[in-house]
Each structure stands twice: as structure tokens, then as C-alpha cells.
Structure 1
Amino acid sequence: MARTSERLRPRSVRAKIVALLMLPVVSLMALWSFAAVTTASTIGDAERAKDVNSELLAPVADFVTAIQTERTVSARYAADPKSGDADVLTRTQAATDNTTEALLAGINSSSSDAALLNSALPDRLDKLTDDAKGLAALRASQSGGNKNATKAESIASTAYTAYTGIVEDAFAVTGALTGEKGTTTASEARVVLELSRAREALAQEQALLAAGGAAGKLTDEQYALFVGAVTVQRGLLKPAVADLKPEHQKAYNTLLESGSYDQLAAIENRVRSAGPGESAVSDGLLRGWDDSASTVLRSLAKAETEAGTAAAAKANPFGWDTLGASGIAVVLGLVGVLLSLLVSVSVGRGLIVELLDLRNSALEVAGRRLPQAMRRLHAGQGVDIDVEAPMRRLAGDELAQVGTALTAVQRAALKAAAERAELLSGISGVYVSLARRSQVLLHRQLDILDRLEQRPRDQDELQDLYRVDYLATRMRRHSESLLILSGIAPGRGWRDPIPLADTLRAAVAEIEDATRVQIWAVPRVSLNGGSVADVIHLLAELVENAASFSPPSTKVQLRAARLRDGVVIEVEDSGFGMNEDAMADANRKLQSEKVDLLDAKQIGLFVVNRLATRQGLRVELRNSPNGGVTAAVLIPENLLRDDMPVHEHEHELAATENGGGGRTPAPAAALIPRQRGE
């Protein structure tokens, strides 16, 4: 995941500036796109709502009104054919047929998109289509003989139920379309549907009382249906009106406050109080019912149309009511996007040019001018800071100030490097002077100790002389370290090759507690004389470091093994080891090309670095299995000479000569031939 984010991150200055400036532009474009899509969606919804209204909602509403009227006329005619007007029924059925044709035409034109509007809509349309096509059969069932009252009541009840079922199927289609987004000019479709159901309840009341009035009595079933219809009508009408838009509430409030509705409500109350039977449909009780019911139904249908289908038909998809603030947001957003692009390109181009100039200047300083000046300083040559980094006058622009700051940093780096070079040169001279003086005195001291060791003495005195010899040898090694750090080769050396075993023992003899070092079997090879002094010094530094950082009761293991590329020597202690950071830092100091003479914490590592570099050795520290640290030194093949063929079982060294036999070994001067230069 981290690699993926790294790849996606812009690398060049141009890419970063473009990404920085394009982010707000892209964000603005995204907001504008969202506003544009939303506006287009609003327009599409308005267009689709108009199509749905003209093809389905309006034909369904007209069909429902015609069915309600035909239901009332058919119920009255079925209850008493003699008192009913056959011409009225015929005209009503003809009107219903006209609305049926319009309905079927609308269903056919929208059938392909029905499933997209609502998944349940196709089945409901199919059912309503079947109902419309079955009107002829329904009417035929009512025209049969109804010679007795019981037969007439049955036919009237059947007709009422059939017509009511058709209306419910029509409402099911309307309900499936209420989820479709309408226009802002129309009221909520669900509210209009509730008002339609309230009107249907009133139409049911009219049909029930028409059938009862024609038959001369209201049956128990008709009475129960009437009471239920009154309850539904009153429960839906007034609450639904309160949810309409204010401009659509006016027509309904006018109707609810009119005398026709009050008379209608009063008759409903009297019929409910009278109960089933002849009294419920007496002439005195139902006086004015037909006129009031017809007036209220017409008013409800008109108000319903104005609140729903008529409002949707009048809506303009591109008008202010539909677009409103979103249209202004789209226009202003487009202007903002164009201005943002123009400003971003202009500002970004200028910023990129300035940053690229600043980058090129910084790379010139860091890659060429400053390193060249540093190399001249390290070589001891003088550097004119004013010529190398002329100071610029501080400008008002921030990028120009950055350039001035870079010049100031360059001047500070050159000044610090010059001062450091002078300091290191002085320190190096002091090192050389002190080391030379100390070497003269130490050589004289070692000569005196050598003569004293040759005289006959008892064992205790000889051991004391050996200890003094060890201290003097260590002091001589430290003096040589000063010369090595100063870049000067020490004076001692050998002309002839020296066995590797003697070289290891000489290195061990240069530490204070040599008895703690155990030398294991050493390959029978010799080391070139010119490399012996440096290898002894290097190994002595590593062995002394191992003995210093391990408990006094533990042994320091010194091993050597022949490899194809040379000989590897391992110095292993049993100390507390080093953590990963300390180990990495130590190896970095051992392998670095530059030696910091001002870092006095681990001066021995820098000495080993200089010696290894001069002789072409490889030195590495690593954690040992015993918990301590192992220093591995690889002596290349070009510094070695085989004393005899190397075999696996021929590497041996007497236990009495390995430094672990319990006695104090002889000093280095007694182990190998005297060095030249002493």
C-alpha cells in the first residue's frame, strides 16, 4: 500500500504545482457537475411526470370518475328498473366507454416504460386493462331478469362490488405512480391519492343510497357499507387537505365550508342514526341528497384535478418553478469553473517557472559549486567566499527570499568548512608533533626494557618488567594511532614475511590483560612484511576493544581460517553485545571514506578504518551467538604467502603458546623479530 501511494505521488515540481492548483478546480468542477446533473435530473423528472400524467394519471382519474357515476346509475337501475331511467344509464355507459378508450390508449403508449417506473406497475396495468375490457360482461350480467326484490338486491349488490373493485384496481395503478417524482407545481401524489379515496368513499355512499332508495329500503349490508364509507370519507378528507400545498387547499376549504357539504354531512348523520330499513331512505330523510352529493363530488373531482394532474400538465420543465436556484447555480458554477481554470493556469505557469529557476540554482550550488569549493578546502587551497557565493540583496518576493537564504546557507557552509579545515589541519599537526616526541621516548624506553629483560633475574621481577613492557607497547600503539589518523605511516615495519601465528600473538601481547585472549589453531601462512605492522595494530585495537567491553572473567576468542579469497580472522567476546543502531553506526565508521577527527567517542574504529583502507582489508562487526560481538577481518590473498600446503587437519598451535595457558606471555618484541625503524 505504501509503495502504491509512493508511485501515485507527483515527483516533479511542475506535477506538484499542477496537482495543488487542480485540486480546487477539480472540486469546483465536481460541484458544478453535481449541480448540472441534479438540474438535468429535475428537468427529466418534470418531463417524465408530464408524460406519466398525460398518459396514465389523467386517463385513470377520468376513468375512475366515469366508473363511479356508472356505479351509482347502475345500482339505482338494478334495484328498480322500472323507476330508473334507461336512457341515463345508456348515456353514462357511453361516457365510460370514452374514458375507457383513452385509458387503454395511455396504457398502450406507456407499457414499455411501466417496469422502469415501478416494478409492480405492469401487473396492475394488466389487471386494470382486464377490468376495462370486462365492462361489457359486467353490464350484461345486470340486464337479466330481476323480477323479484330479492333478485334485484342481489344484482345491485353484485354490481356495486364489481364497480368498486374496478375503482380499487385503478387506485392501485395510481398508487404505483406516487413514487414517481412530480413537479414542484403539483401537490404530493400520496396526498392527492388520499383525496381520491375520500371522493371514492362519497361516491360509494351515493351508490348505496341510490340502490336503497330505488328498492325502498336499505339492507343491513348496504347500511354497514354506508357507515364504513362515511367513516373513510371523513377520516381521509380533512387531514389530507391539510397536507396540500396552500394554493390547492383553497378549493377544498371552500367546499368544506359550503352549504352543500354541510347538507351532505347532515343527511349522512340522519341515515346512520336511522339504521337499516325503510326509514333510512324515506323521502323526507334523503331530501336534497342527490343534489348535494353530486355537487360535492364534482367539486372534489375539480379540486383534485387542479392539485394533481392539471398542475403537472401546466408545469414547465424549464421554468423558474422547476429550475429555480439550481439553474442559477449551474450558470454561475460554469462561470466559476472557467475563471478558476484561467487563474490557475496563469498563476501555476508563473510559479512553475520561478520554482524551476530556484531549483536549478540550488542544484548548481549543491551539485557543482559547493562540492568543488569543499574539495579545494580539503586539499588545503584557499577559497574566496565572496566570489563563490556572492550575497544577494533581500527581495520582497518569497521565492527570491528563498534564493537569498540558499546563498546564505552556502556561505555559512563554506565558512564552516574553511574553519573546520583549518582546525583539522592544526589538530593533525599537533597529533604528529606529539606522536613523534612520544615515539622517541617510547623507543628509548623499550630498548632499556629489552636490555633489562635480558639480564638474569628471578621470575617475579621478570614478570614485572614484562608488564611495564606491555604498558610501553600500548603507549607506542596509541602514538602510532595519532600518526595514522593524521595520514602518516608509522615508522616500524618488517622486511621479511612473518607467520600469521606470530602476528596474532604479537597483537595480543599489545593489550594489558593478554591472558584473557585464547588463540585457536591458525593456518600456516605468512604475512608480507610491509603489512605486518598495520595488521598487528589493527588486531590489537579490536582485541583490546573486545577485552574492555566484556566481563573480566570471560575469554576473548581469536580465530583464523583460510578461505579461497584469503584469511579471515575473528575476534569474539562474550560481552553484552550491541543494539542494531549502535552496530550499524560502528560498521559505518569502519567503512566510511572520511574520518572525523573531532569524534572522540570511538577513535579506535577510525584507526581501524585507516589501517584497513591502507592495506585493502575488510572489517565488519556482527553479533555473535554467545551474546557478544564478533569482529571479522578479511586479509586478501595478495598479502599472504603459504608456508606449507594447507590441509584441514594440519592447522595446529600448541596450547602453551596460545595465550590461554595461564601464564603471562612474553611481550611483542620477544615474539617476532625486531622491527625495522626502531
Structure 2
Amino acid sequence: MILLWAFAATTTLTAALKKFDFDTQYDNMGLQTAAVLDAIQKERTAAADHSPKFAEQTQYTDGTVTAFRTAAFSEETQDAMDDLSKTQVSALDDAFGTLTGLRGKVAADASSVQIIDEYSTIVDTVIQLLSGMVSVDDVSAYRNSNAVIHVLSSHDLMLREAALIGALPTGGKLDNAGRMAFSGWADSRDKFFRLGIATLDEDLRAKVTEFADSEPFGRYVQLEGQIRNGGINAGKTGATSAQWQQAVANVEPAWYANMGAVSVMLDEQIAPVGDQIMLRFYAAGGIGLIAVIASLLLSVRFARSMTGDLRVLERAAHTLADERLPEVVARLRAGENIDVSLAEQPLPGGARTKEVGSVADAFATVQHTAVDVAIGEARLRRSIGRVFVNLSWRSQGLLQRQLQLLDTMERRASSPEELDDLFKLDHLTTRMRRHAEGLVILSGEPTVRAFDHPVPIEDVVRAAIGEVEDYTRVEPAVARSSSVTGAVVADVIHLLAELIENATVFSPPGTEVLVKAEAVANGLAVEVIDRGLGLYPDQLAELNRRLAEPPEFDLADSDRLGLFVVARLAARHGIRVALQPSAYGGTTAVVLIPSGLTVQDAPSRPAVNAPRSAPPPSPAVMAAPERRPVPLAAPARAADNRFEPDATPEQAGRLPRRRKQQSMAPQLRTETTPPPVEDDFEEPDPESSRALMSSLQYGWARGRDGQGDDPTDERNRP
């Protein structure tokens, strides 16, 4: 509002100042400019005719020029002028300086056309100054003022024609230069006159038209046309000098009178314009200022009212964004069932303004939508987690049966080639089971495998190496100093297997992966060192951030499942995992198992239900395309000790037979009776086979009848 008032006041003040400047210029040099114009025109006529009064006229002209200079260059007038007016006054002053040389040409008997043209240059400069003084902020007044200037220019062209004809001797004729000059002045005079009449308002146009229709002006126009077409003193039917001088003598006073009347009418029109300018200035400056002050007072009162409501709404919005929604999301992620109506907190109402009330209603809608979306997302995540768990339990059940079948087939294998293929399939199946366990970890559920006693760290590392595809490249360097509590053994094996698998995948096949484990002050430290190409610092920092602060599982980011599994297992048990550059140029993964998960000098004891191996590795923990391994031949290593020939001489030369659980650590083995050495398979008796088939049929029938009890519990499946 203040800017609007300032703009209006500035605009009206500018118009008022322009009016004051116009009045100052008109009062100080308006009359002097008109006097100079009249003096130059008369001196021009006397110079063209070489009149004896020329010297007297020059003295009069010098007096008017001196008076003009005194008025135009006064301090008051100069302050009222703009840059354009100052330029025009300077140009006119320079034109006055040419009078001395021009008068010398007159004394040297220069041609009439040359004398008239050079004096007319000064006259044109005076008329330009008069047109520049017409600066009124009213379209009609400005247009009428310029029209009067056009009529004034037409009158000056008529005086040029009269000076040229008056300079002829009695009965003299115009030469070619004179006729061309006369014709050009006549054409220009007619154009300026018509232009002035066309741009005048109706009342002013009527006054000028009255003069144009008068008999003196008509006679003048008639003789002008005859001279332009046929010359002067050309014959009996042509115009003569006497006729022309008589016509000019009759039309000039009438023209002066008409122009004076039009000027008076124009002054009467401009006077109210000045009053209106001052009225607008007083209205905008005084009344506008009062309106601005009143609006400011009302605005302050309204702003205080609205500010109070907005502050209350702001506090409610911050509470919603910083407290309520995070609390609801956290409870939903924790698995709680939340009702939308109870999770929402009503926003404060009773706003004194309708607009703030509408904003509060909009925030309430946003709150309802946000809570509803959060609940829907949590339900979707739980559903996806249940799908993962169901798929994992289904896969683990089938894989466990497949492992049992492979174990039986391994006992019956008779050739080394078949036994080697069965062992490869056995190892692949265990890796598939680890992959199935990864689905359980992604869903947030605990793994099924567990141990009821601590397991030495060397056995944990050896078990993790056994779950890696390229286990022959992994070299353990473990000092037996402590054990891992049984509750976390399976998860630690899984975590280390993921890191070791990543190290083997992203390092050249011909290199070795070193796994070191030793006790430290804060627990147990395990280092997985590869000899790959390493990672960029920004990639290393990003991966460490994800390991330290596990993000929410994103289904779209399926290329980093191994990283997510490691981070989730580490966060579940308080294990710290960090990546750092290794001394070999690759990457070192440091796993710090806290003291609460370790036992110092735990005695060795057999494992209960120890896992055979693990599922295939999840996608690499660190996805780095530039570290793709180059297929190379694996280094030769010691023979697998899972295959041993019998020691008795009678069995010498027979195929090697696999000893059950021979590849596992002693603490992870179960107390089972070794299989008999005999190759013959003992057929069961018919009664046992019948009893077995009856039991299977009965179990199938019970399974079909009890499917509706808990169809999602995959742990009850065979």
C-alpha cells in the first residue's frame, strides 16, 4: 500500500513539477522567443529586398536577441529546463552567432534565395524551441499545441514567399532557382497548414477553418498556385507582383489575428489542465497519505490476529511432523497394530480468520492421509516379510530333504566321478539354503538354526569358509582364544560367509583371501582381507554408512542384498562391521564381535544339530562394477580331507568313501555311529515296508485334514 501511494504521489508530483517548470519557462522567455521570431522574419524580408531599413532592422534584432539570451540563460530558467530544452537553447544561441556573417553576405549582394534560406535556418531553430516548450500531461492540450506550431510554420513559409517576390524589380520574373524555391515553399506551406487543421480539436479547428475559407486567404492561395505553375509577370493572364503584394498585405493581418484567437482558446484549455494536475497532486499526497495510514493501522490489527492463529497452527504442524508421525511410523515398524483414529491428533480449531481455519482443515486432511499411508506401507512391508518367510521355510524344507537324499546317495556312490558330482551338488544345496535364510533375515525374522553351547571362533570361521563357493582360495589364520555364544553362532557364520563370499567374488581368482581372528580388548575381531582393486573413497564411505546405519529394505535396490543382510545381522546383535583399504590394494572387512557375545577359553563340546553348510552367497556386499574378477585357474590346494581310503589292507585299492561330518569342526559334529564299511545294502523285510507305507498314508491323510489350522506355518511342512 505504501509503495502504491509512493508511486501515485511521485507520479503526480512529477506532473506538478513539470507544470511549474513550464510556467517558469513560458513566463521568463516565452515572450522573448516570440519577439526574436518576429525580428528575424522582418530582417529576412529587409535583407532579401536590400531595403534601406535593413540596418535599422538589424539593430532591433540584436536587441531582441540580447533580451532572449538574458532570459534564457538566467539561473531560474536554466533550473526549470530539462536536457532537451537546454540543448535547443544552446543551438539557438549558436544560430544567433551566424547573424554577423549572414549580414556580410547581404552587403555582398548575395542572391535572394540564399539569403532567405540562411535566415530561415535560424527561424526553424526558434520554432523547434517553441515546440519543445509544449510539455503538458494532457493529450488533447499537447496535440492542439503542436497543431498551432504547424500553423505557425505554414505562416513562416508564406513570409518566405512574400520576401522572394518582394525582392523582384518592377515587372521582374523568377529565375529557375527562384521558381524551384517558391514551389517547394508553397508545397510545404500547404502541408503544414492542412496538418495543423487536421490535428486541432473541433472548436479550434472551426476557428482556423473560418480563416481558411475567408476571401483574403482564398485570393492568396489562388495567386500562389498561379505563380507556382506559370511564374509571375509572365503575361496578361498571369499573376503580377502588384497583385501578389496586395494579396499578402490583406492575408497577413487576418492570419495574425486568427492565430492570436486560437492561442487564447488554447490557453483557456490548458489552464484547467494545470489545475487538475495540482488537484491530483494534493489528493494523492494528502488524502492518499491519510488512506495509507488508516490501512496500516487496519493491517497491523489484522496481522496480529492472524499471527496468533498461525503460531498455534505452526506449533501443531511441527508437533505432527516432528513427534506424531515419527512415533506412528516407529510403532508400525515395530509391528504394533495402530488404529488411524487413535493415531491422529486433532489440530486446534477456533481460528478467528476463515483462511487460517481452512489451512487447519487442510493440515488435518494431510495428517489423516499421512497416517493412513504409513499404516498401509507398514502392512505392505509385513505382508512382503511374511511372503519372504514362507518362501524361505518352503525352500529350507525342500533343501533339507534334498540334503538327506544326497547324503544317502553319497553313501551308495561307487565311482569317484559320481561321488565328486554328488559332493558338488551337496555344496550347491547348502549355499541355496543360506540364500533361503537370507530371505528370513530380509523379512526381519530370526533364523531357525541355533546352537545350545558356545563354539570356538576357529570353528565358526571354518564353518563360514565352508559356505563359500570358492572356499579353496580362503586361508584362515585364527588363534584359538575365545568362543562365540551359541545363540548368535548361526548369524555370525552367515555374516562372515557373506563377507568372505564378497571378497572371493571381487578379487582375481588366482589370489588368496585371508581371514584373521583374534581377541581384542572389546571382544573378538575378525578381518577378511582380499587382494582386489579396492574401492573409491566415496564408495567406501557410503558403504560404511550403510553398515553402521542399516537403511530400510528397498525392493528396488536388489543389487545390494548382501550388504543389507550383513547390516541387518550386525545391527541385530550389536556387531560392528567396517570396510577399509587393505595393504594389498584391496579391501579389508573388519568385524568386531562385542564381549557380551563371546566366552573366553570355552571347552570343546560336540555341537547339537550343527548345520551341514549354508545356502549360496547373496549378491555381493559391495557392488563395484570395476572389480569384476577375471576367470583364472584356481591355485592348487591340499586334497579335500572329506574323502579318505580305508586303512585295512583288505580294502586297499578300492574307491575312497566319504566319512560323514568329516569336513566339519569336531565341536560341530554330532555323535553318530559311522556307517558300516560293507558295500552290501541290507533290504528291509516286507513287514517293515508295509508298516512304513501305512504310516506315510496316515500322515498324508492327517496333513490334508489339518491344512486349515495354520497354512502359513512353513515349519510344520515336511
Q: TM-score range by the shorter chain?
A: 0.5 to 0.7
Equivalent residue in structure 2 for 1:569, among 528, 538, 552: 528
Distance 2:550 2:414 in 1: 50
CA RMSD of aligned residues (A): 6.3
Match of 2:663 in 1: 670
Distance 1:664 1:125 in 2: 127
Q: 1:622-633 alignment to 2 at 5 Å?
A: 633=589
Structure 1 counterpart of 2:570, one-letter code? A
Q: 1:377-392 alignment to 2 at 5 Å?
A: 389=344
Match of 2:160 in 1: 204
Structure 1 counterpart of 2:513, one-letter code? R
- The offset of 1:389, in angstroms, is 4.9
Query: Do structure 1's residue 519 and structure 2's residue 473 form an aligned pair?
Result: yes
Cα 1:337–1:668 shift into 2, 3 Å: farther
Query: Do structure 1's residue 491 and structure 2's residue 451 form an aligned pair?
Result: yes
Q: 1:349-388 alignment to 2 at 5 Å?
A: 349-368=304-323
Match of 2:125 in 1: 172
Equivalent residue in structure 2 for 1:67, among 12, 25, 40: 40
Equivalent residue in structure 1 for 2:358, among 398, 407, 426: 398
Q: 1:225-624 alignment to 2 at 5 Å?
A: 226=182, 229-268=185-224, 275=231, 285-287=240-242, 289-290=244-245, 292-304=247-259, 311=266, 315-316=270-271, 319=274, 345=300, 348-368=303-323, 389=344, 397-402=357-362, 404-405=364-365, 408=368, 412=372, 459=416, 463=420, 466=423, 470=427, 473=430, 485-487=444-446, 490-491=450-451, 495-498=455-458, 506-510=463-467, 514=469, 516=470, 519=473, 528-530=482-484, 534-541=491-498, 559-560=513-514, 568-569=527-528, 592-593=549-550, 607-613=565-571, 614=573, 616-618=575-577
Match of 1:16 in 2: none
Distance 2:665 2:159 in 1: 131
Query: Do structure 1's residue 108 and structure 2's residue 73 form an aligned pair?
Result: yes
SS of the residue 1:315 aligns to: helix
Q: Which runs of 5+ in 2 are unaligned?
A: 600-633, 641-655, 672-718
Instruction: Indicate conservation of the 8 Å contact 2:48/2:163, yes or no.
Output: yes
Structure 2 counterpart of 1:401, one-letter code? D
Instruction: Indicate conservation of the 8 Å contact 1:56/1:107, yes or no.
Output: yes
SS of the residue 2:97 aligns to: helix
Deviations 1:170-228 (A, max 9, x none): 32243256356522325466654443332223223333444436x56456489535555
Deviations 1:13-42 (A, max 9, x none): xxxxxxxxxxxx68xx45x65554444333
Q: 1:36-51 alignment to 2 at 5 Å?
A: 36-51=9-24
- The offset of 1:384, in angstroms, is 8.9
Deviations 1:335-385 (A, max 9, x none): 886777666655554444333323322333443456557767877899898
Cα 1:46–1:301 shift into 2, 3 Å: farther
Distance 2:452 2:128 in 1: 110
Distance 1:173 1:56 in 2: 12
Instruction: Indicate conservation of the 8 Å contact 2:577/2:589, yes or no.
Output: yes
Distance 2:236 2:61 in 1: 30
Cα 1:134–1:64 shift into 2, 3 Å: farther
Instruction: Indicate conservation of the 8 Å contact 2:21/2:80, yes or no.
Output: no
Cα 1:482–1:73 shift into 2, 3 Å: closer
Distance 1:546 1:369 in 2: 44
Instruction: Indicate conservation of the 8 Å contact 2:16/2:278, yes or no.
Output: yes
SS of the residue 1:298 aligns to: helix
Distance 1:487 1:543 in 2: 22
Distance 1:168 1:300 in 2: 22
Distance 1:634 1:241 in 2: 101
Cα 1:220–1:414 shift into 2, 3 Å: closer
Distance 1:281 1:385 in 2: 114
Question: How many residues align structurally?
Answer: 585
Distance 1:124 1:528 in 2: 108
Select between 196-205 and 309-318 the one with higher mean Cα deviation. Answer: 309-318
Distance 1:362 1:36 in 2: 43
Q: Which has the higher contact order (CA 8 A, sep 6+)?
A: 1
Match of 1:655 in 2: 636
Structure 1 counterpart of 2:219, one-letter code? Q
Deviations 1:399-418 (A, max 9, x none): 34345436645875897799
Cα 1:375–1:301 shift into 2, 3 Å: same
Deviations 1:621-652 (A, max 9, x none): 99xxxxxxx996322498999xxxxxxxxxxx
Deviations 1:585-627 (A, max 9, x none): 99987555577699997876654334333262426799xxxxx
Instruction: Indicate conservation of the 8 Å contact 2:389/2:440, yes or no.
Output: no
Instruction: Indicate conservation of the 8 Å contact 2:113/2:178, yes or no.
Output: no
Q: 1:72-87 alignment to 2 at 5 Å?
A: 72=45, 78=50
SS of the residue 2:666 aligns to: coil
Q: 1:151-166 alignment to 2 at 5 Å?
A: 162=115, 165-166=118-119
Q: Which runs of 5+ in 1 are unaligned?
A: 1-24, 143-153, 575-579, 623-629, 642-652
TM-score (norm 2): 0.59
Instruction: Indicate conservation of the 8 Å contact 1:204/1:229, yes or no.
Output: yes
Instruction: Indicate conservation of the 8 Å contact 2:47/2:115, yes or no.
Output: no
Cα 1:235–1:594 shift into 2, 3 Å: closer
Cα 1:281–1:138 shift into 2, 3 Å: farther
Distance 1:673 1:246 in 2: 123
Distance 1:509 1:664 in 2: 20
Cα 1:313–1:376 shift into 2, 3 Å: closer
SS of the residue 1:655 aligns to: coil
Cα 1:610–1:107 shift into 2, 3 Å: closer
Query: Do structure 1's residue 634 and structure 2's residue 590 form an aligned pair?
Result: yes
Match of 1:117 in 2: 84
Cα 1:203–1:422 shift into 2, 3 Å: closer
- The offset of 1:294, in angstroms, is 3.3
Distance 2:467 2:328 in 1: 42
Distance 2:227 2:415 in 1: 148
Structure 2 counterpart of 1:609, one-letter code? A
Instruction: Indicate conservation of the 8 Å contact 1:497/1:528, yes or no.
Output: yes
Match of 1:646 in 2: none
Deviations 1:129-148 (A, max 9, x none): 4356889x779x87xxxxxx
**Percent identity among equivalent residues?**
21
Distance 1:52 1:668 in 2: 119
Structure 2 counterpart of 1:507, one-letter code? A
- The offset of 1:258, in angstroms, is 0.9
Structure 2 counterpart of 1:178, one-letter code? S
TM-score (norm 1): 0.62
Cα 1:561–1:60 shift into 2, 3 Å: farther
SS of the residue 1:490 aligns to: coil
Query: Do structure 1's residue 130 and structure 2's residue 109 form an aligned pair?
Result: no
Structure 2 counterpart of 1:655, one-letter code? A
Deviations 1:90-142 (A, max 9, x none): 9867865664454233333346777812575354222344356889x779x87
